[in-house]
Structure 1
Amino acid sequence: MKYVSLIIQSVPLIETGKFKEAVEKIDKLMKSNLSKIQLYPNRQILFFHKVIALNNCGNRIEALNLIDELIEEGLNEKIEISVLNYKFIILLGLRRYDDAEEMIDLILDKDPENHLTLLNEALFLYKIGCKEDAAEAFEDLLNETNEKLSKFKEMMFPENIWNMELTQVFERIRSPKEFLNMELTDMLMQKSAIHERLHQYKEELECLNQILELNPKHLRAWNMKGYVLAHLGKYDEALKCVNKSLELYSRDTYSLDIKGFILAHSGKPDDALKYYQKALEIDSLFEEAYYHKGEAHKELKQYTEALQCFKKVLELNPYCERAKEDIEQISGQNQDIS
């Protein structure tokens, strides 16, 4: 099992924001003389981890090219759906909405009941403004996710010890801790994403706290926790959380955007602007950062700059209704600005 352990070593590096180190680790393994690493599907799994790391450090085109190479050579059935779903994520990040929609349709043709694909479809509907359809889908997915978590607990943990500390639970079962961590973390991350879209922030916070108990250095959990706490009005605590995520990876655009969001909503829109700008210098396609930057300019009555940001949002996502509303409001109140 040593080679399996080597293959999954890149996962904690990715989860803790060490994306470049993950790529270096994978490249080193691929050049090694360990024959089992080179075997199909082990090599594909490693390449898939490299795709995830590349995308997270902003190299979307390189990640897309690598994922297309994987698809072209023929995917192992164990990872096919995961790889295709991740291609959807990359296409969405590149704002290639038509291609992203085609990818979702392709995956659903292969596996109509795949939970991750249905979640991505709901996120896509939300992104393009079909919010009622998305909300209905999220509600259904939340029920399914809760069922999955319940079955996971029944299968993996002895009766009556679910309320124990997770570290104690892992000592009482035979399965390797890292595999259980990954599976449980994935389910909790999906559940937290659904709660966020349904504006169920207290429930989302519970999921994120469980993830951080499993992995205290989980980058996404820290920045999402900061975002949730900001929505709950706990700005000081939110700032501490997002600072922890930036300690893990200082160039994480989501964390930079969320820090700006926290500062803006705690009455410091001027301070927020520099974090939005830094996020956009790293990722010029980051729609949310443009929108939040526009909100901050609007709060500061810098209407020309706000209008530029909201127009950029519409360039990236023509479906964004809130940007259209802001443009109409600013243009209506300030007819000399266009």
Structure 2
Amino acid sequence: MSKEIVENILFAKKYELKKLLGWGAHGEVYQAFDFIYKDDVAVKIFFSNREDVLRFVHKELHSISRLSHPNLLPFREFGESDWKGENVHYIVTPFMEGGNLAAFLHKKGALEPLEAVNIAVQIICALSYMHKNHCLHRDVKPANILLDKSGNVVLADFSISTSPECPATGPLGTPEYSAPEQLSDVNMQDARMDVYGLGVTLYEMLSGINPFREIHKKQGQGAMLQSKYLEDRIVRLSALNPKIPVELAMAVEKMMNAIPEKRYQNMEETLKALSPFSHKVEDILGETALTFIGHDASPRRHNILWKEKIKKLHDFLSFSWEKFKILDIFVFFIKKRFFWDEKQLEKNIERWFESAQNLREKGHWKKALCFYRYIYFLKPDHTRAWNHSGDILVKWKKYKQALKFFNKAILQDPKYYSAYCHRGFAYSGIKNFTRALKDYDVAIALDSNKPQAYFYRAEVYLKLTLKNIEEKKFKNAAQCYHDMQQDLIMAKKLSNSALSELNQSQG
């Protein structure tokens, strides 16, 4: 599908539409620039305010708003606005620079087995999380898998996702990727449908073709649908690509079995089957990683393995940064399948946080960021890990990326003084002085006896003073200069007071 360039169209008073990315039965998706956060986003605009569209919008919003996982596409905003003379609803999500997997496969063709399995494992993490939260996706396919520049993936388009306890009213999904029971029995809904959809997607990644689409092209849709129920109805993967290990081909074909009972029964079983074909994961977690994911190990054995893995993880983190990224795809399963001692987990997290702090103070920022990243994956409400991760990104002048971490910290703790100060500094770094001043005002309102926010705010006033002088707005410049002096006086006063108290306590 060609991407239509759209120029200078302002939507909802804050999004500049730049490019039409796609469209469907219910709406259009645009790449847009967010004037508030100063970054690119995807804006999904639903068609006119009909009752069926409203139900669709409500379903998608309900699905994505209650789910939060690193491999699921989050949403930033939901609202209403005028569009082409009509009142419409819209959803805003982050823009994924790498596009979708379907376009990637169309351009690149079949992937190497390791690359394909690494993508599949990330989607398994997302689907397992959804299933444990009583939600099925029902439309797993390359077009709904989005990539960023680093090759990480997220699963998108939850508009037809549903609870197993709340059957849909009709066969949903994309026929080429839908399980046979999804097409014929709408009341037969469980995780095995998503196993099937992921199997077809993995087959396509490994071979470069969708077997059912090929049947559709040659024999028509009826033959394609009929082939879903037949044994040996598709070409063997090993015949299409001799590089594919026989065991991997067999695992994919089992995921695509026409009979649900003959497939892997859940995402944990699927992961266990695919893990041997991702040697990077095996390098990090060791050969016993699968024991953690399975159900057969005793609690005592789990504790022994847990201690071994903590030591291995600690040794691993002490020398490697790049490999740490691979841990992301296993964090969810590690957390859910280990025999956790919650008190011990808290102690380990605090110990890792102290290690991260020491590394950060010594300037070993990459290694510190590894620890922070692992901490907030295991404990998403660890506000200090989010805040300090953002602070490291600020040191690298990656201000836009840092904002996301400070937003997470503030979301967890709306009264987090330091996070407001750091976020204000990040806004200042991208020259969004209005937002920076607002954050410093909030920080001062939270604690007016700390000097940090006054110093930062004075720095912004200095920049505004110089900016106004350059623009010959001398009255504004004078006011900004006056405000800067007042903040510096207050900051120095508070700093001297704190220093005096410290000397008295030590004396």
Shared fold per TM-score greater than 0.5: no
Instruction: State the TM-score, normalizing by the size of structure 1.
Output: 0.44
Specify which structure has the higher proportion of strand. Answer: 2
- Highest CA radius of gyration, 1 or 2? 2
Taking CA–CA contacts closer than 8 Å with sequence separation of 6 or more, which of the two structures ends up with the larger relative contact order? 1
